[in-house]
Every structure is written in structure tokens, then in C-alpha cells.
Amino acid sequence: MKISFDLDGTAWKYRKEFSALAHILKTSGHEVGILTAHSPKLKDRDIELWLARGFPTPDFYICNENKESVAKFKAEAMWKHRIDLHFEDFDGGIYEKQMMDLLILGEGEVVKII
Ligand SMILES: [Mg+2]
């Protein structure tokens, strides 16, 4: 499976738990990476932090290059990159409905982080 983590409010909030999970998933043969609404300017810093916070080397880094709305960007990124499972806090729930409405049924699942 291809599995992604949002950063703010998700990977950064539960870094001990999610870094442990990410290692287990990678060791089990899954692709594990980052799906964030950050701008590409933050890529190097994000990956540096990701590694410093104990996460395994990411298999991919997907960010919001075209400054689209976060909901649209993330839903489309899930189809485009064929992400099976994404961990997401929806920025405290702000764009949850919008993103879930844009997701095509069966094209990946989202785990809501509170
Ligand atoms: Mg977030």
C-alpha cells in the first residue's frame, strides 16, 4: 500500500506514535511518505525535520505546488499519486467535508486525526 501522513496537526502532533507506525509500515513493505499543503519551498526543511523526529526516509513528498485550496489539492493528490491511506487532521476539521466530498469513493481512505 501507499500510505501518506499530513504534517501539521498529524505527524508533528503525534510524532512518537506515527514515527513508530511509519517504521513498522515501511518494514512491512509499504510505501510511506508525506502529503502536505506546504509550499515546495519547505520541502528540504520538512524532510530534515521528519528525519530528525525519528521518521524513516520518506518514499515520497507531495506538496501544494499550485497553491490550490487545501481540500482540492489533497483530494486530487490522493487520486493522482494513488495513495491508499492518508492520515489527516483537516486543520482541525476546517476542510474535512470539502475534501471528503471531492474524494472519489474507493480511491483511497482517510484516517481522521483529532
Ligand atoms: Mg494538518
- Domain positions in the chain: 2-112
The upper half-sphere exposure of residue 14, i.e. CA atoms within 13 Å in the direction of its Cβ, equals 14
Q: Find the 7 Cα to ligand 1 centroid distance in Å.
A: 6
Please tell me the pTM assigned to this model: 0.94
Residues 102, 44, 90, CA angle at the centre, nearest 5°? Answer: 25
| Residues 63 and 42 sit within 8 Å (Cβ to Cβ) | yes
Residues 6+ apart with CB under 8 A from 10: 18, 87, 88, 89, 113
Q: Find the 59 Cα to ligand 1 centroid distance in Å.
A: 19
The rounded distance, in Å, linking the Cα atoms of 71 and 68 is 8
Query: Residues within 5 Å of ion ligand 1 by Cβ?
Result: 6, 8-9, 89
pLDDT in tens, 70-91: 999 999 999 999 999 999 999 9
Residue 107: which pLDDT band, with cuts at 50, 70 and 90?
confident
- The CATH class that applies to domain 2-112 reads alpha beta
